[in-house]
Protein backbone atom coordinates (compact mmCIF):
# COMPACT_ATOMS: atom_id res chain seq x y z
CA UNK A 1 0.00 0.00 0.00
CA UNK A 2 1.37 3.41 -1.01
CA UNK A 3 0.91 6.37 1.30
CA UNK A 4 0.36 9.97 0.25
CA UNK A 5 1.05 12.69 2.80
CA UNK A 6 -1.68 15.24 3.43
CA UNK A 7 -0.27 18.74 3.93
CA UNK A 8 -1.73 22.07 4.90
CA UNK A 9 -1.14 25.25 2.93
CA UNK A 10 1.93 25.96 5.07
CA UNK A 11 3.60 22.79 3.77
CA UNK A 12 3.22 20.93 7.08
CA UNK A 13 2.14 17.29 7.23
CA UNK A 14 -1.26 16.82 8.90
CA UNK A 15 -2.16 13.26 7.84
CA UNK A 16 -1.85 10.61 5.14
CA UNK A 17 -3.95 8.62 2.66
CA UNK A 18 -3.41 4.98 1.73
CA UNK A 19 -3.54 4.02 -1.94
CA UNK A 20 -3.77 0.57 -3.48
CA UNK A 21 -0.74 -0.54 -5.48
CA UNK A 22 -3.06 -2.15 -8.03
CA UNK A 23 -4.12 1.31 -9.19
CA UNK A 24 -1.26 3.68 -8.46
CA UNK A 25 1.92 1.61 -8.76
CA UNK A 26 4.53 3.01 -11.22
CA UNK A 27 4.19 -0.10 -13.39
CA UNK A 28 0.50 0.71 -13.88
CA UNK A 29 1.32 3.66 -16.15
CA UNK A 30 0.01 2.89 -19.65
CA UNK A 31 1.75 5.35 -21.97
CA UNK A 32 -0.13 4.17 -25.05
CA UNK A 33 -3.45 4.81 -23.33
CA UNK A 34 -2.28 8.25 -22.22
CA UNK A 35 -1.34 9.05 -25.82
CA UNK A 36 -4.82 8.03 -27.00
CA UNK A 37 -6.50 10.18 -24.34
CA UNK A 38 -4.39 13.23 -25.20
CA UNK A 39 -5.01 12.73 -28.92
CA UNK A 40 -8.78 12.55 -28.32
CA UNK A 41 -8.74 15.67 -26.13
CA UNK A 42 -6.71 17.73 -28.59
CA UNK A 43 -8.87 16.59 -31.50
CA UNK A 44 -11.93 18.01 -29.75
CA UNK A 45 -10.13 21.38 -29.46
CA UNK A 46 -9.67 21.71 -33.22
CA UNK A 47 -11.94 24.36 -34.74
CA UNK A 48 -12.30 22.63 -38.08
CA UNK A 49 -13.00 25.89 -39.91
CA UNK A 50 -10.70 25.33 -42.92
CA UNK A 51 -12.71 25.76 -46.13
CA UNK A 52 -12.21 26.22 -49.86
CA UNK A 53 -14.72 27.48 -52.41
CA UNK A 54 -16.65 24.97 -54.45
CA UNK A 55 -17.77 25.46 -58.05
CA UNK A 56 -21.02 27.17 -57.00
CA UNK A 57 -19.23 29.60 -54.66
CA UNK A 58 -16.55 30.94 -57.00
CA UNK A 59 -17.34 34.23 -58.72
CA UNK A 60 -17.31 34.25 -62.52
CA UNK A 61 -19.47 33.78 -65.57
CA UNK A 62 -20.65 30.36 -66.65
CA UNK A 63 -20.40 31.28 -70.31
CA UNK A 64 -18.17 29.14 -72.53
CA UNK A 65 -15.20 31.36 -73.39
CA UNK A 66 -14.70 30.13 -76.95
CA UNK A 67 -16.01 27.43 -79.19
CA UNK A 68 -15.01 23.83 -78.61
CA UNK A 69 -13.11 23.27 -81.84
CA UNK A 70 -11.25 25.21 -84.49
CA UNK A 71 -9.40 27.76 -82.38
CA UNK A 72 -6.27 25.70 -81.73
CA UNK A 73 -6.59 26.34 -78.02
CA UNK A 74 -7.42 23.90 -75.26
CA UNK A 75 -11.12 23.36 -74.72
CA UNK A 76 -12.59 25.25 -71.76
CA UNK A 77 -16.11 25.38 -70.39
CA UNK A 78 -15.96 28.07 -67.70
CA UNK A 79 -13.67 30.72 -66.25
CA UNK A 80 -14.27 29.06 -62.89
CA UNK A 81 -12.40 25.90 -63.93
CA UNK A 82 -10.16 24.43 -61.19
CA UNK A 83 -7.31 24.43 -63.72
CA UNK A 84 -7.36 28.20 -63.90
CA UNK A 85 -6.21 30.83 -61.47
CA UNK A 86 -9.06 31.94 -59.17
CA UNK A 87 -10.97 28.78 -60.03
CA UNK A 88 -12.68 26.50 -57.54
CA UNK A 89 -10.88 23.77 -55.57
CA UNK A 90 -11.64 20.12 -56.21
CA UNK A 91 -12.28 18.05 -53.06
CA UNK A 92 -11.00 20.84 -50.83
CA UNK A 93 -11.48 20.95 -47.04
CA UNK A 94 -14.86 21.96 -45.66
CA UNK A 95 -15.90 22.92 -42.10
CA UNK A 96 -16.13 19.79 -39.96
CA UNK A 97 -15.86 18.52 -36.41
CA UNK A 98 -12.81 16.47 -35.43
CA UNK A 99 -14.47 15.04 -32.31
CA UNK A 100 -14.93 11.31 -32.02
CA UNK A 101 -16.20 8.91 -29.37
CA UNK A 102 -13.76 7.73 -26.72
CA UNK A 103 -14.78 4.87 -24.39
CA UNK A 104 -15.26 5.92 -20.77
CA UNK A 105 -13.32 2.88 -19.52
CA UNK A 106 -10.30 3.93 -21.55
CA UNK A 107 -10.60 7.51 -20.28
CA UNK A 108 -10.66 6.34 -16.65
CA UNK A 109 -7.72 4.04 -17.35
CA UNK A 110 -5.76 6.97 -18.76
CA UNK A 111 -6.70 9.03 -15.69
CA UNK A 112 -5.34 6.30 -13.40
CA UNK A 113 -2.12 6.22 -15.44
CA UNK A 114 -1.76 10.00 -15.26
CA UNK A 115 -2.23 9.99 -11.47
CA UNK A 116 0.23 7.11 -11.06
CA UNK A 117 2.77 8.95 -13.18
CA UNK A 118 2.43 12.15 -11.15
CA UNK A 119 2.68 10.18 -7.92
CA UNK A 120 5.82 8.34 -9.07
CA UNK A 121 7.47 11.62 -10.10
CA UNK A 122 6.65 13.27 -6.77
CA UNK A 123 4.57 15.91 -8.54
CA UNK A 124 1.23 15.14 -6.85
CA UNK A 125 0.34 16.92 -3.60
CA UNK A 126 -2.72 16.49 -1.39
CA UNK A 127 -3.70 19.28 1.00
CA UNK A 128 -6.34 19.21 3.71
CA UNK A 129 -8.08 22.21 2.17
CA UNK A 130 -7.52 24.81 -0.52
CA UNK A 131 -9.57 27.37 1.36
CA UNK A 132 -8.00 30.55 2.78
CA UNK A 133 -9.53 33.17 5.01
CA UNK A 134 -9.45 35.88 2.34
CA UNK A 135 -9.90 35.74 -1.43
CA UNK A 136 -6.59 37.42 -2.20
CA UNK A 137 -4.29 36.33 -5.01
CA UNK A 138 -1.12 37.17 -3.07
CA UNK A 139 -2.17 34.84 -0.25
CA UNK A 140 -2.60 31.94 -2.67
CA UNK A 141 0.72 32.81 -4.31
CA UNK A 142 2.39 32.65 -0.91
CA UNK A 143 0.70 29.31 -0.16
CA UNK A 144 1.90 27.84 -3.47
CA UNK A 145 5.43 29.04 -2.73
CA UNK A 146 5.35 27.19 0.59
CA UNK A 147 4.31 24.04 -1.32
CA UNK A 148 7.39 24.46 -3.57
CA UNK A 149 5.39 25.34 -6.69
CA UNK A 150 7.82 27.09 -9.01
CA UNK A 151 6.21 26.59 -12.43
CA UNK A 152 2.72 25.54 -13.53
CA UNK A 153 0.19 23.85 -11.27
CA UNK A 154 -3.28 22.30 -11.55
CA UNK A 155 -5.57 22.86 -8.55
CA UNK A 156 -8.29 20.25 -8.15
CA UNK A 157 -11.21 20.85 -5.81
CA UNK A 158 -14.42 19.05 -4.95
CA UNK A 159 -17.61 20.64 -6.27
CA UNK A 160 -19.27 20.53 -2.83
CA UNK A 161 -16.41 22.38 -1.11
CA UNK A 162 -15.61 24.86 -3.91
CA UNK A 163 -16.07 28.43 -2.69
CA UNK A 164 -16.17 31.85 -4.29
CA UNK A 165 -13.05 32.80 -2.33
CA UNK A 166 -11.03 30.05 -4.02
CA UNK A 167 -12.30 31.03 -7.46
CA UNK A 168 -11.42 34.68 -6.94
CA UNK A 169 -8.10 34.01 -5.28
CA UNK A 170 -6.72 31.60 -7.89
CA UNK A 171 -8.09 32.94 -11.16
CA UNK A 172 -5.42 35.63 -11.72
CA UNK A 173 -2.38 33.48 -10.93
CA UNK A 174 -0.16 32.87 -13.95
CA UNK A 175 0.34 29.20 -14.78
CA UNK A 176 -2.42 28.09 -12.38
CA UNK A 177 -5.69 26.43 -13.38
CA UNK A 178 -8.55 25.40 -11.10
CA UNK A 179 -10.77 22.44 -12.07
CA UNK A 180 -13.27 20.17 -10.34
CA UNK A 181 -12.37 16.58 -9.57
CA UNK A 182 -15.19 15.25 -11.75
CA UNK A 183 -13.90 17.30 -14.69
CA UNK A 184 -10.16 16.65 -14.47
CA UNK A 185 -8.73 15.09 -17.63
CA UNK A 186 -5.48 13.14 -18.14
CA UNK A 187 -4.39 15.92 -20.50
CA UNK A 188 -4.67 18.44 -17.65
CA UNK A 189 -2.48 16.33 -15.37
CA UNK A 190 0.17 15.91 -18.07
CA UNK A 191 0.07 19.53 -19.18
CA UNK A 192 0.87 21.03 -15.77
CA UNK A 193 4.08 20.27 -13.89
CA UNK A 194 2.40 19.91 -10.47
CA UNK A 195 -1.05 18.77 -9.39
CA UNK A 196 -2.48 19.83 -6.02
CA UNK A 197 -5.68 18.12 -4.83
CA UNK A 198 -7.79 18.96 -1.84
CA UNK A 199 -8.26 15.91 0.39
CA UNK A 200 -11.99 15.72 -0.33
CA UNK A 201 -11.45 15.95 -4.09
CA UNK A 202 -8.68 13.33 -4.10
CA UNK A 203 -10.58 10.83 -1.95
CA UNK A 204 -13.69 11.13 -4.08
CA UNK A 205 -11.71 10.69 -7.30
CA UNK A 206 -9.82 7.66 -5.94
CA UNK A 207 -13.07 6.09 -4.74
CA UNK A 208 -14.58 6.47 -8.20
CA UNK A 209 -11.52 4.94 -9.88
CA UNK A 210 -11.42 2.01 -7.45
CA UNK A 211 -15.13 1.34 -7.95
CA UNK A 212 -14.67 1.34 -11.71
CA UNK A 213 -11.67 -1.00 -11.42
CA UNK A 214 -13.63 -3.46 -9.28
CA UNK A 215 -16.50 -3.49 -11.79
CA UNK A 216 -13.98 -4.17 -14.53
CA UNK A 217 -12.55 -7.14 -12.61
CA UNK A 218 -16.03 -8.58 -11.97
CA UNK A 219 -16.91 -8.24 -15.65
CA UNK A 220 -13.66 -9.95 -16.68
CA UNK A 221 -14.23 -12.80 -14.21
CA UNK A 222 -17.81 -13.27 -15.45
CA UNK A 223 -16.67 -13.37 -19.05
CA UNK A 224 -13.93 -15.89 -18.21
CA UNK A 225 -16.42 -18.11 -16.37
CA UNK A 226 -18.82 -17.99 -19.32
CA UNK A 227 -16.05 -19.09 -21.68
CA UNK A 228 -15.12 -21.91 -19.30
CA UNK A 229 -18.70 -23.19 -19.27
CA UNK A 230 -18.88 -23.15 -23.05
CA UNK A 231 -15.60 -25.06 -23.29
Q: How many whole angstroms separate alpha carbon 38 and alpha carbon 61?
A: 48
In the 8-state DSSP scheme, what is residue 14?
A: E
Fold of 2-46+101-230: Ribosomal Protein L4; Chain: A; (3.40.1370)
Over residues 72-116, the pLDDT tens digits come to 999 998 899 999 999 999 999 999 999 999 999 899 989 989 988
Q: Is 164 left (phi over 0), alpha (psi -120 to 50) or beta?
A: alpha
Q: Is 148 left (phi over 0), alpha (psi -120 to 50) or beta?
A: left
pTM of this prediction? 0.77
Q: Where are the domains of the chain?
A: 2-46+101-230, 48-97
What residues of the chain score a pLDDT lower than 50? none
Q: Name the helix (H) or strand (E) containing 127.
A: strand 124-127
Amino acid sequence: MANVDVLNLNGEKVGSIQLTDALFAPDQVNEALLWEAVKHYRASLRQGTAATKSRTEVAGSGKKLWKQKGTGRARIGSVRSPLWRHGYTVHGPQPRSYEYAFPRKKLLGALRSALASKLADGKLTVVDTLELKEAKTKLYRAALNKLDVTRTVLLVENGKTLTQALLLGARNLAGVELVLNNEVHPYDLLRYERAIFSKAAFEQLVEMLEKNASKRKVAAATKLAAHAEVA
